[in-house]
Structure 1
Amino acid sequence: MRKKLFKWHSYTALITLLPLLIISITGSILVFKVELDSLLRPAHMLVNTAADTTRVSLDTMMGTVLKKNTEFELGGWELFDNQSRSDAAYLIKRGTQDWYKVYINQYTGETLSQPHIMGHYLTDWLLELHYTFLLHITGTSFGFVLALVMVFLGVSGIILYRRFWAKLFTLRLTAAKRILFSDIHKFTGITSSPMLIIIAATGAYWNIASILHEVDEHSGDGHVFIEQPLHAAQISFEALKSQAETHIPSFKAGYLAMPHEADLDIVFYGDVDTSNPLHSEYASTVGFDKLTGKLIYSQDIREADMLMVFLDSFRKLHFGYFGGMLTRILWCIVGLMPLILALTGTCMYILRKKRAALPQRQTATI
C-alpha cells in the first residue's frame, strides 16, 4: 500500500509540477499585493490627508465616476477610511461581463485613474493568473482540481514520511546526493504541509463556489447583461451606509455590492470589533432592498452559527494575515516551499531512474 501511495504521490507531483509552481509563486507574491500596488502605483493607491478629514458623500463620488464614464454601471465599491488608502470603484461595461476598476480619493472626490479592465495592472494580472490561469471559468475549474491535488500531495506526504518526525532537524549534508535531496524534500514537506493543506483547501472552496455560481448564473435564461441601473434612482447609498453602521454595533463598511444582477440587492460587507482573530473584514453584512432601500437582512459574525464562522475564517487562513506581518511573512515563505519540493523531488526522480537503469547498462556490456 505504501509503495502504491508513493507512486501516486510522485507521478501526480510530476504531472502537475508547472501549474502548481505558478499557483505557489504567484500566491506568495500576492500576500503583499497591497504593498506592491502602493509601491508601484502610489498615485492610485495612496491618499494623504489629515486624521480628522471626513469622507465625501458616497452618492457624490458615485455620481462623479458615472458622469465621467457614461458607458459603465457600478458593480461594487471598496471603502477605506484610514486617511492613507484610496477607495476603488468596480464598473461593469454595459452589455458585457467585463469588469473595470477606477481609484478615487474619498476625501476630495477626485478620480485618481482611468477605468482599466480587471487584470490590467501587474498584481491584478497575477491574481487572475493565480486564480484562473487567465482562462476564466475553465481556469477556475482547473485551479479547483489543482487545489485538491495539493491537498492530496500534502496529506500523502505526511503519511509517507510520518516517521521523519523523529529526525526532523537532521540533514545528512555529507551523504550521497539522493539521500541529501530526500532529507531536504522530507524536511520541507513535513514542516510546510499543514499550512499548504490549509491554503489549498481554502482555495479549493473559493474555486468551487465560483464555479457553482457561474453554473447557476448561466442556467435557465442564461446571463442577462446590465444595461441600466437596477436600483431605484432615489436611493441614497450614503444614508444606507450610515444605517448599516448604526444597525450592527461597531460595524464598519468595507465593501458595497451593487445589484448588478436581477436577483441581487444592495449589500454592505464590513468589519466589527471582535476577539476572534480569524473573523474577516467582510464577515458581517447588511442588505437593503434595491427598489425601496428598506433593510431586509443583517448578519453579525459575532452571532453567526459555527458553519458561517468557519467559512468566513477561510479568507484570513488563505492569505495568512490573521497574525499581522509575522504570519504574512510566514505564509509568503511557505507559499514558496513547493518550489523546493519540486526541485528536490525532480532530482530524486532523475537519480532514481539513473540508478534503476545502471544494472541494465552493466548487463548490456557483458
Structure 2
Amino acid sequence: MNRILFNIHRVLAFLICLPLLLICVSGSALVFKHELDSILMPERVLVGEATATRLPFDTLLQSFNSHYPGYEVTGWRIFAKPNRSDLVYVMAHGGSDWSSLFVDPYTAKILSPPQPPRYYLTDALRELHYQLLLGKVGLFIAALLAVLMCLQAITGLILHRKFWKVLFTLRFQARPIIYLGDMHKLVGVLVSPVLLVLGVTGAYWNINQLIYSVAQPLAAPYIVDQRLYNSSLSVDALVAESRKRFPGFEVSFIALPAKPGYAINVLGGRDRQNPFFSEFSVSLSYHAQTGVLITARDIQDAELGDQITHSFRRLHFGDVAGLGSRMIWALVGFSPLALMLSGLSMYYLRRPVRKRIAERRREGRAQ
C-alpha cells in the first residue's frame, strides 16, 4: 500500500511541480498585493492620511462622468484603509471590455487613466495565478492542478502519518539522501494543511467558474452605448438604506449595471462579524430605475454550507488573522520550491540504487 502511495506521490510531483510553482509563487506575491502596488505606483494607490471625510458617492460619480463622458462606471471598490484610493471599473461607449482607474475619494481627483486588465504588474500576476494567462484553458488547468495538489498533500500525509515521532529530526551528519528526506518530510507535513486549504478553495472557485462559463449561452458581447441606471437615483441614499437595514454595515463595493436588466448592487461587511466572513458578507440589490430594494442578504443568516463556501475568500488569501496569517500563507507559497528541489535531489541520489536493482533483475531473468 505504501509503495503504491509513494509512486502516486512521486508521479504527481513530476506532473504538477512546474505549473504549481508558478501558481504558488504568484499567490504568495498576491497576498501582499496592496503593499506591492504601494511600492510600484504610490502616486496611484496612496492618497495620504485622510484628514477629512470621504466625498459622497454621488459627487464622486458626477466628477468622473464630467471628466470621462465617453465611459460608464460599472463598479466602485472601496477599501478599509483610509489612505488607499478607490478602484473604479469602467466600460467605454462603443465597446464591451472593461478597464480600471484610481480615484482619490477625498478630492475626487482621478489618479490614472482607464487601463485594460493586466496593465499593472500585480494584475498580470493575478491572471497568472488564476488562469496561467491562458484564459478558459488556463482556468481548467489551474482547477486540475488544485485538485492534484490536494491529492499530493493527502498522499504525503498518509505516507508520513506517524510524523510526530521524527517531525523535527534533521540528521545533519547523515548521508545527503537521509538529510534531504528528513527535510522533505518536515516541510511537507508542516505546510500540507495550508496547501490543502489553498487547493480546496482554489479548485472550488475555478470549477464553479468553468461550470458557469460553459452553461452560459453563446451570445454577442453587449456594446455599451448609454447609462443603464436612473441618473437621478442617489447612490448615497441606497448606501444609507443598506446601513439602516443592517446596523454596522460598511460598504466595500458598488456594482452599477453593465448590461440591460442588471440591478444596482451594494456589497459590504459588518463590524464585529465572524472573522472568516469577508468584506462582501452583506449584499443588497436595488432596481436600477426605481431604486426599490429587490433582495437583501447577510451571510450570517445563510445556511451553513453557504457560510463555509463564503469563508473560502479569507481562507484562500490568508487574511483570517491579519498580518501574521498572511505571512504564513506567503511562506507556504514558496514551500513547493523546497519540496521540488529536495524531491528531485533524492530522486537523483537514488539513481545508483535503482540501477543496481535493475541489473540484479536482469541477471535473475538471464539465469
Normalising by structure 2, report the TM-score: 0.92
Partner of 2:41: 41
Partner of 2:214: 215
Partner of 2:109: 110
Q: For the Cα contact (< 8 Å) 2:96–2:222, is it kept in 1?
A: no
Q: For the Cα contact (< 8 Å) 2:45–2:84, is it kept in 1?
A: yes
Identical-pair percentage: 36
| Alpha-carbon separation, structure 2, partners of 1:175 and 1:71 | 70
Q: 1:358 to 1:175 in 2, by over 3 A?
A: same
Match of 1:162, SS?
Answer: coil
Partner of 2:342: 344
Partner of 1:89: 88
Alpha-carbon shift at residue 49 of structure 1 (Å): 4.6
Q: 1:305 to 1:328 in 2, by over 3 A?
A: same
Partner of 1:286: 284
- Greater Cα offset, 335-344 or 58-67: 58-67
Alpha-carbon shift at residue 288 of structure 1 (Å): 0.5
| Alpha-carbon separation, structure 2, partners of 1:347 and 1:95 | 56
Q: 1:275 to 1:286 in 2, by over 3 A?
A: closer
| Alpha-carbon separation, structure 1, partners of 2:49 and 2:349 | 60
Partner of 1:277: 275
Alpha-carbon shift at residue 228 of structure 1 (Å): 2.6
Partner of 1:246: 244
Q: For the Cα contact (< 8 Å) 1:274–1:302, is it kept in 2?
A: no
Extract unaligned runs of 5+ from structure 1.
none
- Greater Cα offset, 139-148 or 253-262: 253-262
Extract unaligned runs of 5+ from structure 2.
none
Equivalent AA in structure 2 for residue 45 of structure 1? V
Q: 1:86 to 1:160 in 2, by over 3 A?
A: same
- C-alpha deviations, 1:80-110, integer Å up to 9, x for none? 4643111110112445443211000111111
Alpha-carbon shift at residue 12 of structure 1 (Å): 1.4
| Alpha-carbon separation, structure 2, partners of 1:212 and 1:318 | 20
| Alpha-carbon separation, structure 2, partners of 1:334 and 1:72 | 41
Instruction: Report the RMSD for the aligned CA atoms in angstroms.
Output: 2.1
- C-alpha deviations, 1:275-311, integer Å up to 9, x for none? 5211111111111111211111111233222122111
- C-alpha deviations, 1:312-338, integer Å up to 9, x for none? 111111111111111111111111111
| Alpha-carbon separation, structure 1, partners of 2:123 and 2:129 | 10
Q: For the Cα contact (< 8 Å) 1:55–1:81, is it kept in 2?
A: no
Alpha-carbon shift at residue 71 of structure 1 (Å): 3.9
Length, aligned pairs only: 362
> How do 1:79-228 residues align onto structure 2 when only pairs under 5 Å count?
79-80=78-79, 82-217=81-216, 219=217, 221=219, 223-228=221-226
- Greater Cα offset, 237-246 or 332-341: 237-246
- C-alpha deviations, 1:245-264, integer Å up to 9, x for none? 22211101001122213453
Alpha-carbon shift at residue 180 of structure 1 (Å): 1.5
Match of 2:149, SS?
Answer: helix
Matched, 1:329 2:327: yes
Q: 1:220 to 1:136 in 2, by over 3 A?
A: closer
Q: 1:354 to 1:63 in 2, by over 3 A?
A: farther
Equivalent AA in structure 1 for residue 90 of structure 2? L
Q: For the Cα contact (< 8 Å) 1:77–1:90, is it kept in 2?
A: yes
